[in-house]
Structure 1
Amino acid sequence: MREILTVQVGGAGIRLGNQFWDYIRTEHGVDHLGVYHGNSHLQLQYIDVYFSDIEMKRHVPRAILVDSGNVTDSTKYNRWQLPMLITLPHVSGSAGTGNVFSHGLLHRSKVVDNLMENFRRVSETLESLQAVQVIHAIGGGTGSGLVSAFLRELRDDNTRLVTTWTVLPSPVVSDKVVEPYNAVLSVPALIDSADVVCAIDNEALARIGSGKLRTAHPNYDVMNSVAALAMSGTTACVRFPGQQNSDWRGVTANLVPFPRLHFLTLSQAPLARNFAEQSRNLGPQGLMQELVSRENFLMHWDDKQARYLACAALFRGRLSMAQVDAAVAKANGRIASSGLVPDAVMRSVCDIPPPGFTASGTLVANHTAVARALARSVDKFRKMFKKRAFMHWYEGLTEADFAEAEKRTVDLVAEYIQLERQPKQAGGVDEQW
């Protein structure tokens, strides 16, 4: 069995990760205590990819929970989860980071060393570690600074595929003034030490919550539910058998044409469980149209210039492969690709839909829209850095560290924009669905 080990870091990473476990443990027929009550042998066939089987046939998430403060803070657990997650390895620091990158980075000697010790201990018990996935947000101090230190240690210590689920900050959601600093300072580690970064934009989640989900004031629970549903759909191809299935490395390898450009975006259809009834009327063609709609992306951008480099359509449910192939072929003909990948859309079909759904879909795309989200943070970073505002909070970092992080982020944005401006592929239609 090719296992995946999850590391949830910081308050945002722990809460989002908990929602993710809530979704997938339900899909696998596991209750809040880790006991299986499902109705299909398929639920157990690949359950060991994400879950560990402990005494009394209990299935618990294979995860390590990390925070610079107290990881068992009750605000980071959903009520149902405490019995299951209390058995997991926990790594806590003595104090919080105050939402400052350098404070998270300087916990390296205390927290990161303890985290690496737990990581090695868990890894040694596994038959074949397929990948490590890190769930975090780069707006806060722990999810930015501590994760940067951890990723560098992980790269030196481990050759496995390293994937991050990275939540990007937005002033629409949070009023923490130093978030642009934290976000930009995090980018070098994400470029150098992660193989794949699945970027989730808080601004897009807030737009989805207030728009399609009709929530007047979407809170973190609403936004996390959307993100976790997309994460569940993205990982279904490694958790369940299907007609055309893939492992995680196979999916991501086709989406990264250049090593540095490994920042992916997600789209989900339907967007929430209360839209499950809608899925009864959506075949592959309808799902594909929803997936390529800008309103369904977990990434916010305004202009029409953003383009796909490559994407993977991951369908779930008992769907006709002929209809899936037709929907994907139509998408290939209409998505304005850069010309780097002739067949821009790959596809995978998992037979098991999410509970309550007839069918669903998730699009994982290498899309230049991610450059817009990073550019937003760079713009706010520059306005503060020009006046050297709040830099006294960042003990241990010099102006050269800030300037280097800004340069590397700007270079990454420029690489995406350069591909965006290349001539369209011959025969493609210069149109965004």
Structure 2
Amino acid sequence: MRLGGRMAAAAEIVADMDARRRPVADALKDWGLSHRFAGSGDRAAIGNLVYDVLRRRRSIAWRIGSNAPADLVIGAVLAEPSGSVERLAVALDGDRFAPALPDRQILDAFLNRDLDEAPDAIRADLPDWLAPRFADAFGADWIGEAQALAARPPLDMRVNTLLAEPEAVERELAPFEAHRSPLAPAGLRIDPIEGDRRHPNVQVEAGFQKGHFEIQDEGSQLVALLAGAGEGQRVLDYCAGAGGKTLALGAAMRNTGEIHAFDADRTRLAPIHDRLRRAGLANVEVHAPRDDLSPLAGTMDLVLVDAPCTGTGTWRRRPDAKWRLSEGTVAKRMSEQDGVLDRAAAFVRPGGRFVFVTCSLLPEENRDRVAAFLAKHPAFRVEDARALWRDALPGAPERYRTEKLGDGRGLLLSPGRTGTDGFFFAAMQRQGGG
């Protein structure tokens, strides 16, 4: 397919999403099934265009003066570093599948329009109602932080140090230009793709099949490391999901002690079994949703709660979620978080650590949930996460935002400041006697 056909396909997919309010992955899959003539390169390029529109929809619409899917796709192409009206016109010349270009003055205006003159929420590529939340979370940096969420993400991996060394896996993945992560000691990164390229499917590599590495955002690796799981400990990963952090905890514990992996959603938990086998972890017991966990109450050295949340920190990878999110969904997630924290706290032994993690950047899902928990559970005290960072990552730059929580401090990782997905981290210690 030529560029014009790819642009028309991307516009068709965006229009389908608008009409049916469906996730981008579903819309792309359905388009591919009904257009089997499109090769893998075409599908990758079309997907890039769709994702670029979704990441920067408001700013593109403001610059081109239209919210029509075809115009948004045209704007996304022009917004590329090499974008120009002349180059686009040449590429589309004679392509009967190409969308019709707006008048030349509209295209020139798009390239010359200064985004700094737009309203703040448009500059940030956010719905209006979310702008105050980001301002609360990041202060004066909030627009830049939101703009970083609208960039293409890297492909991050965690080397399983039980089976391999980071240097060896880096050499194995050298053809893909993988390099060591900026912060996570066992992390590797392939930089964000450009143009119509796509990230390599590293899951077909021998190292992945042998359990030498897993795909995991560097921010997720960092919060698992900050949790401080030690050899011989008893650990409960209360919202284990597919097991990414469970695997990281198991490697940190050197396959000693015991990890209990639980999730209330059986479907989310299903992939963990194959991942554990591939990683060579023998110290993990997986608990199904209906299992009785009462024998574990009050006995865990560490309980990690990666709580259900809106996922605002993952918008680089799931930009469609930005436009489907509602205030009602935020309120629902807050209630779910309160319930999960209340239930999980019962498993922490006196003197043990209770870690609360979200992949959200919204203060009401992070700071406010810790405050609500502390009001109900006075036996817990917030630790200083800055000290945990320095212990876990000696000499590493402290590229995070910190906020006072009770007697301690939590951390907020973000694409703009940390170069990772957005994550909130707070560690609490249960005092003796309750």
TM-score (norm 1): 0.27
Highest relative contact order (Cα 8 Å, sep 6+), 1 or 2?
Answer: 1
TM-score (norm 2): 0.27
Bigger Cα Rg: 2
